[in-house]
Chains A and B, each alone.
Chain A
């Protein structure tokens, strides 16, 4: 039958009703729900409205519009100016209140992560790849650390920081501080020139500012940037 069916109710005599295009069933309805049976892609076009799903299980690729900082393409209900958008090719932006606060840029070599955090704009941040805070005096012990498996107590004021995951090369920046002794001496933390840094460890020393000799600092801090 060619033409248009206008009805308030279409009732199946069986447990399921089917919608066919030609001889191909593309939609079935039953007491368990609607089932789309696509031969290619399924397009749901609801002009000036939206589709709501309680749960969407996507086993393929979900594609979104690029969006903008003001209206990100991936957002949450009731807060449409906060979410994720795609400012340009190979770039992912994060926006909050309509203002970009971070992004992964399109730098193919480094895939830089950029964020604002009061800097004024999204700018590349360089990560601290390892850090440790330890007591180098008395019972030597590590208070806190990240990507550090251990320290080696070599001698007075002489330690080696051992990384859990090695650096990609030895061109990292090691920042060392050592607290002095109140009323007695100021401390300086620095890389040990008598030992060789490697991708897996950085030798450090704590020395007296007045004499340059090693001393055991109660507060030694090391941070590695790369």
Chain B
């Protein structure tokens, strides 16, 4: 609930996967499982706390992924 998955886009940006609380509540569903399902194969990703993602989205399209 308080975590997100981030991974880079091909043009240098970043995508953020927001889990559904109802999905996470199901037995066996974890952020790692979600990453395996959603992140494209071969892409690196990180699981981060929601607080690590800016809530000011003024420059959302300029956000970059850093490993």
Contacts and interface: CB of A to CB of B under 8 A. Distances in A.
A142 B50 CA distance: 13
Interface residues of B, number: 22
B55 A150 contact: no
A149 interface: yes
A127 interface: no
B57 A138 contact: yes
A53 to B, nearest CB: 38
B13 A155 contact: yes
B37 interface: yes
Given A138-B55, A139-B53, A162-B38, A153 B22 contact: no
Interface in B40-66: 50, 53, 55-57, 60-61
A148 interface: yes
A152 B16 CA distance: 5
Nearest to B19: A150
Nearest to B39: A152
B23 A140 contact: no
Nearest to B9: A154
Given A141-B18, A149-B20, A156 B34 contact: no
Interface string A166-185: 00000000000000000000
A145 interface: yes
B55 A149 contact: no
A130 B18 CA distance: 16
